[in-house]
Structure 1
């Protein structure tokens, strides 16, 4: 079968080659009915666009950028693996590429954004792990670059974001442990510079206070979101004269390490020490015992971020600029009541 061309699509639909080209190129001067007729005929003929030529015509790279942090020696971690898969799937369906860059240190991250944007290597960016004063968002806003944020900062009116209500999620997990009878609950808090760390800490403290329980600051450990940090923090807590009966970790990756540290002491997870996480990565269900955690629909969120970014790149106005998703508490065997 010969390869479909613009000329053949134009002959079949009755439109000019110019109109066919602009409809397939996503230009907004083609009405919706005409575009649909052309797209349907292009699909029927198995038309494959010349992306290089289209990029020259539209001055676009047909590429979306995503910069991820390097979290310790093992990269990517389960959260980012799932998120990248969701973004890649969505942009791929739109014949876009995903340019994935790994940032080794916080100090060089803005330079990485400047290289991608200044060099016109990407048409837009997805931003992860927002900070209280986020210079990345300020830079993207200043340069007029299309971008979507997974997370929030304090000035949420300035950009399009999708986020999970971390305060509600952490509060739900804390109430679950309190309801089981736990009173000495430890919390391995994510780095305080991250906005979601603030929301989640508020959720933990609010749930404790609502239950009339004192928040023991000695049981709150600010740490990195890595397995190594989770193991070290767990060992410190278990060495206390009066150790906690439950430990909540900042993410599932840390929680897995906490479970390992508990088991190394000959203790039983869920019976001697309760453990909880946050994210509900795929392995949380299959580890033994299964991890009680807060579910974030990571793959779905990634797809929504990518789809929204593609609309922004195409010049479509986004009316719903703020999306806050209610997380779900998933109870498994890693959480049980404290020993009598």
Structure 2
């Protein structure tokens, strides 16, 4: 076998020409198979991928960028604003994206922004500089200027979440609304009839969805909706403490509180402690996210957890599919969270513990820590 251009001393670099000769396929077919194009059959893509692995083929990123006009990079812009809500899930999330990108021979390009306006400007800059081929957009808003920009520029993107105007959007999301409904049903099954709700920032798309889930749970349990038992705007422990305190200071306070976010629930813990209430006995709390701090709270927090590593990997794969022109109708998916039952919820005070009433379908449950 003759040495190709670009070889290093004492080493031979396998090229597409080598794969083409080995497989008896044209260079164009091999190239499109390696890049996952839909016009190449699955059997051919698999055959080419196996040969590339066996022969040690590794594409030169710079040459590919020149030839295809693609950077072979996924983009992610993180808002590093003062609420720091990325932090609880960031490590696993990035790991999931990076591993999926590496499997395709792509990279992940991460940038940070100071606020929403800076996010949009940073995305526009990365597009103008041809640094990435598409974006993963976390923390989606009901009305999201990042989505408007990328739609206008016709740049591929995938949402981690949903949005108000779904035109031209692909997404992977977790059904937070179902988790909130199931939390209400679980608490009602334990005997609670006054169940409060502490929501997050109403500008983010998850907030109205989770509120709808809470209301659906009340309706399914046959409980009335009392607007006094609902608070919003809690995305930090400090805000959770304030909103939880408002509920606990009502003349007829709730015996249980469902929180849209674990971080807010940890604030409700503080509010309860300040009033001499014991979580899990005097006040039940169920939340959503499955952050590590939830497992170490006293008592450990019952929560609907999200596998952020799996979500990151799935988002990367959906973005690859979108970049390659897959039908948007096949790139929209919502999956369930799973319940981690811990010590923060139980029967209401002054009641005898007993078997829970069966008020609806039981969500997937995992006991203990994530």
Conserved in 1, the CA contact under 8 Å of 2:158 and 2:319? yes
Q: Please point out which of 8, 11, 21 is paired with 1:2.
A: 11
1:33: how far off?
5.5
Report the count of equivalent residues: 340
8 Å Cα contact 1:78-1:253 kept in structure 2: no
**What is the match of residue 94 of structure 1?**
104
Equivalent pair of 1:227/1:257 in contact (CA under 8 Å): yes
Match of 1:65 among 75, 99, 107: 75
The aligned runs of 1:153-168 (5 Å cut-off) are 153-168=163-178
- The answer for the alignment partner of 1:320 in structure 2 is 330
Of 77, 102, 107, 2:117 maps to 107
Task: For residue 278 of structure 1, report the CA deviation from its aligned partner.
Answer: 0.7
1:179 aligns with 2:189: yes
CA distance in 1, matches of 2:165, 2:200: 21
Flag structure 1 segments of 5+ consecutive residues without an equivalent: none
1:319 offset after TM fit, Å? Answer: 4.5
Q: Which residue of 1 aligns with 2:4?
A: none
Q: Is the 8 A contact 1:90 1:303 kept in 2?
A: yes
**Post-superposition offset of 1:53:** 1.3
SS at match of 2:67: helix
- Give, in angstroms, the shift of residue 75 of structure 1: 6.2
Distance 2:99 2:153 in 1: 27
Return 5+ residue gaps in structure 2 as ranges.
1-9, 351-370
Matched, 1:52 2:62: yes
Which residue in the other structure is 1:85 paired with? 95
| Map 1:167-206 → 2, pairs under 5 A | 167-206=177-216
Alpha-carbon distance, 1:277 to partner: 0.9
Partner secondary structure for residue 183 of structure 2 = helix
Q: Which moved more, 1:19-28 or 1:170-179?
A: 19-28
1:307 aligns with 2:317: yes
Matched position secondary structure for 1:126: strand
1:253 aligns with 2:263: yes
Change (3 A) 1:82 1:216: farther
TM-score by length of 1: 0.87
Find the aligned partners of 1:321 and 1:35 in 2 and give their Cα distance: 21
Q: 1:56: Cα distance to partner?
A: 1.4
- What does the per-residue CA deviation read over 1:66-87, in whole Å, with 9 as the maximum and x for residues that have no partner? 2233353656421333323222
Change (3 A) 1:70 1:231: farther
- Whether the 8 Å CA contact 1:4–1:45 is kept in 2: the answer is no
* Residue 135 of structure 1: how far off its partner (Å): 2.5
Give a deviation string over 1:84-115, Cα, whole Å, max 9, x none: 32222211221222122333222333222212
Shift of residue 228 of structure 1?
2.5
